[in-house]
């Protein structure tokens, strides 16, 4: 059955009339085509309703699909729209006339170059360009800091989080629900409160070993904060992979003579690895995106990408932010793909879905 057969004839007619009205109203072809796509998509996707469906129900189904189409447009447009905008050759946040008519001169990669050039002492020099870029370019330094904090915080959160999840999913764990609530709470407590508390506590002098002046303006302070925020994600994902974990596997391994460490490495680890990796990815992206703790705890030299974006949006809004944002979106697409592949692998390993 082709898609066309599914369409009720009155649907076609209404569609045509709506397009004509839209054209007469707006007077532009581009707008009419856009309108036609939006109202036409649900018509195309209308599923076969049972034969007893009334006209009112068919109309209702159409309205429902139209609403869903618009919600999906609402969800995805802001994320996608920044990509073409970042190739603007003008320093504006909106599409220019030239971009609308696809004039090549209206597009440029200058904002991507600006990611490296912004903050450099002399972008035009020949010798020492690379060291100048590496040492002075604001966004490069911010990216370096961001990844440094994110990697360290992720390692910390994944290590502690996985251990705790292994304990929590044991049937004999005492006070399980109280402890789980506590371990998840960094995700629930507003960031401003967490950051305020850390701002006071980490500023204490002579409290922390090796850091007599406290942890404010120290890398360790930010890493601790970010690890705290990442822990709930690791716990949730690792616990999820451990549900339905067959404890007889451990006994089987022990009866075959493996000690505790070998059992963990050869039996438990491969099963929870997908959960660990996706938890680590969540923790990583949380840290990479975190700005409140950085605002409260970091000094000017510890600028991260989100911190730089935050001040950029507040002070001198430029399309460089859009270029950075596009790079970040590409990174999140890559992470999302990894996660989806891991999820499928995990389900296959645990035999939850066929194939």
Partner 1 sequence: MTDVAAPGAPENITTSDGVPLKVSLARATRRQRMQALLLVLPLLLFLLVAFVLPIGEMLFRSIYSPIGPDVLPNFSKVIQEWDGEDLPPESTFEVFVKDMTAARESNEIGKTVGNLATRVNYEIPGSRGLFTKSARKVKNITEGPYKEALIGLDKRWEDQHIWRTLQRISSNYTMSFYLAATDRKYDENNDIVMADPLYQIYLPIMGKTLWLSALITFICLLVAYPVSYLLATLPLRTSNLLMIMVLLPFWTSLLVRTTAWIAMLQTEGIVNNILVFTRVISEESRIQMIYNQTGTIVAMVHILLPFMILPLYSVMKTIPPYYMRAARSLGATGTYSFVKVYFPQTIPGIAAGTLLVFILAIGYYITPALVGGSDGLLISNLIADHIKKTLNWSLGSALGAILLAIVLIFYWIYNKLVGVDNLKFG
68 binds partner 1 (CB under 8 A): yes
Q: Please, which residue, 120 or 302, has the CB nearer to partner 1?
A: 302
Q: How many whole angstroms separate alpha carbon 66 and alpha carbon 35?
A: 12
Q: Please, which residue, 37 or 68, has the CB nearer to partner 1?
A: 68
241 binds partner 1 (CB under 8 A): no
Candidate list 152, 202, 216, 241; residue touching partner 1; CB under 8 A: 202
75 binds partner 1 (CB under 8 A): yes
Q: Please, which residue, 228 or 253, has the CB nearer to partner 1?
A: 228
Q: Which of 90, 132, 131, 129 is nearest to 111 (CA)?
A: 90
Residue with tokens 């705790």: 164
Minimum Å gap between C-beta 241 and partner 1 is 11
Q: Which stretch binds partner 1 (CB under 8 A): 2-10, 117-125, 250-258, 283-291?
A: 283-291
Residue burial 32-64, b: 16+ Cβ < 10 Å; e: rest: beebbeebbbbbeebeeeeeeeeeeeeeebbee
H-assigned helices in 264-318: 269-289, 292-297, 305-314
Burial class (CB in 10 A: 0-12, 13-18, 19+), 302: buried
Q: How many residues does the chain have?
A: 355
Q: Please, which residue, 129 or 264, has the CB nearer to partner 1?
A: 264
Candidate list 17, 26, 341, 345; residue touching partner 1; CB under 8 A: 26
**Residues 136-195, interacting with partner 1 (CB under 8 A):** 156, 160-161, 163-164, 166-168, 170, 172-174, 177, 179-186, 188-194
Q: How many CA atoms lie within 13 A of 250 on its CB side?
A: 12
Candidate list 137, 143, 198, 268; residue touching partner 1; CB under 8 A: 198
240 binds partner 1 (CB under 8 A): yes
Minimum Å gap between C-beta 128 and partner 1 is 32
């Amino acid at each position: 059955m082709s898609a066309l057969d599914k369409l009720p004839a009155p649907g076609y007619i209404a569609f045509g009339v709506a397009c004509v009205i839209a054209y007469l109203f707006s007077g532009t072809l581009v707008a009419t085509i856009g309108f036609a796509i939006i109202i036409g998509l649900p018509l195309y996707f209308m599923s076969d309703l049972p034969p007893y469906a009334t006209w009112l129900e068919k109309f209702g189904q159409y309205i429902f699909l139209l609403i869903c189409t618009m919600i999906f447009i609402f969800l995805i447009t802001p994320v996608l729209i920044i990509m073409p905008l970042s190739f603007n050759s003008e320093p504006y946040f909106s599409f220019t006339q030239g971009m609308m008519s696809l004039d090549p001169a209206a597009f440029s990669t200058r904002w991507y170059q600006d990611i490296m050039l912004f903050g450099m002492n002399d972008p035009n020099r020949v010798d020492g360009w690379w060291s100048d870029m590496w040492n002075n370019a604001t966004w490069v330094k911010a990216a370096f800091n961001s990844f440094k904090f994110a990697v360290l915080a992720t390692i910390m959160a994944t290590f502690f989080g996985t251990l705790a999840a292994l304990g929590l999913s044991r049937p004999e764990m005492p006070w399980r629900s109280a402890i789980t609530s506590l371990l998840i709470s960094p995700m629930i407590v507003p960031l401003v409160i967490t950051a305020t508390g850390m701002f006071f506590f980490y500023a204490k002098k002579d409290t922390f070993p090796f850091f007599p002046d406290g942890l404010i303006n120290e890398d360790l302070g930010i890493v601790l904060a970010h690890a705290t925020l990442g822990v709930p994600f690791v716990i949730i994902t690792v616990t999820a992979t451990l549900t339905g974990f067959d404890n007889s596997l451990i006994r089987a391994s022990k009866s075959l003579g493996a000690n505790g460490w070998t059992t963990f490495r050869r039996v438990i680890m491969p099963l929870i690895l997908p959960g660990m990796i996706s938890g680590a990815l969540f923790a990583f992206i949380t840290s990479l995106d975190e700005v409140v703790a950085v605002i409260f705890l970091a000094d000017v030299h510890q600028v991260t990408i989100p911190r730089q974006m935050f001040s950029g949006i507040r002070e001198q809004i430029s399309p460089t932010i859009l270029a950075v944002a596009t790079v970040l979106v590409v990174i999140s697409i890559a992470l999302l793909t990894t996660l989806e592949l891991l999820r499928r692998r995990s389900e296959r390993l645990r035999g939850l879905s066929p194939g």
